Amino acid sequence: MSVVTGIGVALPRSVGQDVLWEQYFRRHFGDSALARRVFAGAGVRSRNSVVDPVAEDVSGWSTGERMARFAEEAPPLAVRALTNALADAGMAADELGLLTVVSCTGYGTPGLDIGLAAALDLPADTQRLVIGHMGCHAALPGLRSVSDFVAASGQPAALVCVELTSLHVQPPSKDPEQMVAHSLFSDAAAAVVVRPSGPGWAVVDVAAHTEADSRELMTWTVTDQGFRMGLSARVPEVFAASVRPAVEKLLARHGAEIGDVAGWAVHPGGPRILDTVQAALDLPAAALEPSRAVLAAHGNCSSATVLLVLRELSARPGELVVALAFGPGLTLYTVLLRGTA
């Protein structure tokens, strides 16, 4: 068995959505009425950012400059998140057999995995895995990797997601997709510790569903000026057709139905995505309140977000929880968890 026994989060400074709009993005988008409506309707009250865009306008920076800043800002957040997760799990860093690091917003070698190993004085034989550029759903295949390791080796493992989307503000544009992306995305680090046993969430099963014919609807492209998000308005429509069959298939393998699920950790990609999931699964409004609360307080923190939502749920022995996250591909990942004592 593999059990999530600890969750840790580290967040940079919080900035109000209205403040970001008035002090930076209003000018950035030429006081566009459309952009104003997009920001007001994003379901975001505040976001976290390593960059103050008023003091530092990164929209004209080269990709090299952005990666240099990632190398400066990401390691302290990663260390804090993992340290908090280890404390929550009640274990020491030198007990880890595997460290998996996820990010789609910054790269370098030696990278975050080496920096974490050095900062926490991990043993030289600690295994490391880096998962890059998968996007918002990457925490769940990352969780699969650490869970499989724990089940196979009997050793604890950790997953750390670090995303600094504020480093990828694009040059001024009238593109509605850029308005949507810049109204939602935020910075965060989140980590989980997985052990062979203990109180928390047992990882029961993991499944994926990819609509490869729709891969052009969500993109994350490396350009000379950072990474550029492509986000079609059709994304919720595509996921609407696949989310219920994917969840029902996952649950059916374990003799369960949607009504048997006590908690939902749904990646809040945006308010329309959450509305789509709620309607497709016929869930009461309260079921997605943790996801909407995370979106309001922190925005969309890419791969780290679903772990922030999971942290909002209570692990009660025997109860089922389903985690869902969406990303480029178009890809839907689902994880079935069961509370343990």
Q: Which residues are part of the catalytic machinery?
A: 136
The single-letter DSSP state of residue 263 is E
* 200, 315 contact by CB (below 8 A): yes
Q: For 64-122, what is the HEC assignment?
A: HHHHHHHHHHHHHHHHHHHHHHHHHHCCCHHHCCEEEEEECCCCCCCCHHHHHHHHCCC
* Amino acid identity for residue 340 in this structure: T
Question: Phi and psi at residue 61, in whole multiples of 5°?
Answer: -70, 150
Q: Which residues contact 93 (CB under 8 A, 6 or more apart)?
A: 82, 83, 86, 120, 121, 122
Beta bridge partners of 221: 228
Beta bridge partners of 324: 266, 334
From residue 85, give the alpha-carbon distance in Å to each of 80, 103, 186, 220: 9, 18, 21, 29
From residue 326, give the alpha-carbon distance in Å to each of 34, 67, 234, 332: 26, 25, 14, 5
Residue with token string 């930076």? 24
